[in-house]
Amino acid sequence: MTDRNLVLGIDIGGTKTSFGFVDREGTLIGATSMPTEAHDSAETFVTRLHHRIEEIREDLLSPHHLCGIGIGAPNANYYRGTIEKAVNLNWGDSVDFVGLIQRYYDLPVVITNDAKAATIGEMIFGNARGMKHFLVITLGTGLGSGIVVDGRLLYGYSGFAGELGHTVVDPAGRQCECGKRGCLETYVSATGLVRTTLMLLAERCDPSPLRAMSYEEMTARRIFELAAKGDIIALEAFDRTARILGLKLADAVAHTSPEAIFLTGGMAMAGDLLLKPTQQYMDDSLFGVYRGTVKLMLSGMEPGKSAILGAAALIWNELAS
């Protein structure tokens, strides 16, 4: 019997690292996670990761051939194979992460940031199959993005092209963790939604259960739940978020003229509460030649699996090129 061809997809976060084995059709097996323990060195982390990967490989039911490894990580540089100045990882200015992995695996290894990995995942396994021009916007704690033009993911000269989350909404606006002010992700993200809600509670007198919540209790999920029940403050917070996102997506359309824009991540779980007003604000702000040409859609990647599948798609795409 021929061994099954698999790749390993790894998603590294500041708190948790997830990985699993994926075949060419996108079937995920052996998915698991482990604490990142970001205070440790990168070398210590990779040693722990290697041991955990091999434990899972031993439990795989069918014989397999490991073809390559794809990795999604914060501030990962595709060209250099490095993770650079990642805020939530105590690994210094630059770590040759691909080099560390290849100490244990003599295989093709490719790395990029998590949003770009999600973009390749959408192209290979999601709703963007067959598309050559599209954007993916990941809405979580921050805002990540990936841009595909002519069927190729855009990296640019530096390897960090497409950071829409750090385009500026207001130069005198909210402080961003990147050091700038007014970045899009400070307004359009789970944390941005909470900040908008707190501002509305200070500005307005409408009664709302939100007023009884502490800062720690007020999450994007709770705001969504109240918006779904018709809470005025929560609905206004979503509307303001959609307006800013729609305006900035209209700018992005002017640069790349995509066929579609896909929303993914925890905030995208709000569905039409975010999708419909964002589509309207974007359409209203588009230059005339683009109107009616761009679809705003939810990701086709399965929630909870998209990060691993995206990293796996990254290496499958590399192996096919």
Q: Identify whether residues 158 and 269 lie together within a single domain.
A: yes
Q: Identify whether residues 106 and 146 lie together within a single domain.
A: no
The span from the CA of 316 to the CA of 321, in Å, is 9
| pLDDT grade for 190, boundaries at 50, 70 and 90 | very high
Q: Identify whether residues 146 and 272 lie together within a single domain.
A: yes
Give 3-state DSSP helix, strand, coil % of the chain, rounded to 5.
40, 25, 35
The span from the CA of 154 to the CA of 152, in Å, is 6
The more confidently predicted of residues 302 and 157 is 157
**Mean pLDDT in the chain?**
94
- CATH no. for residue 26? 3.30.420.40
Strand, helix or coil at 203? helix
Q: Identify whether residues 244 and 110 lie together within a single domain.
A: no
Q: Identify whether residues 115 and 145 lie together within a single domain.
A: no
Q: Identify whether residues 135 and 219 lie together within a single domain.
A: yes
Q: Identify whether residues 200 and 279 lie together within a single domain.
A: yes
Percent of the chain residues past pLDDT 90, beyond the cut = 83
The span from the CA of 69 to the CA of 55, in Å, is 16
pLDDT at residue number 178: 87
Q: Identify whether residues 145 and 290 lie together within a single domain.
A: yes
Rounded mean pLDDT of 19-38? 93
How many domains are contained in the chain? 2
pLDDT at residue number 86: 83
pLDDT at residue number 279: 97
Give tens-digit pLDDT for 102-134: 999 999 999 999 899 999 999 999 999 999 999
pLDDT at residue number 2: 65
pLDDT at residue number 321: 75
pLDDT at residue number 237: 98
Range of the domain at 217: 130-298
Rounded mean pLDDT of 15-44? 93
Q: Identify whether residues 118 and 266 lie together within a single domain.
A: no
Give tens-digit pLDDT for 225-272: 999 999 999 999 999 999 999 999 999 999 999 999 999 998 999 999
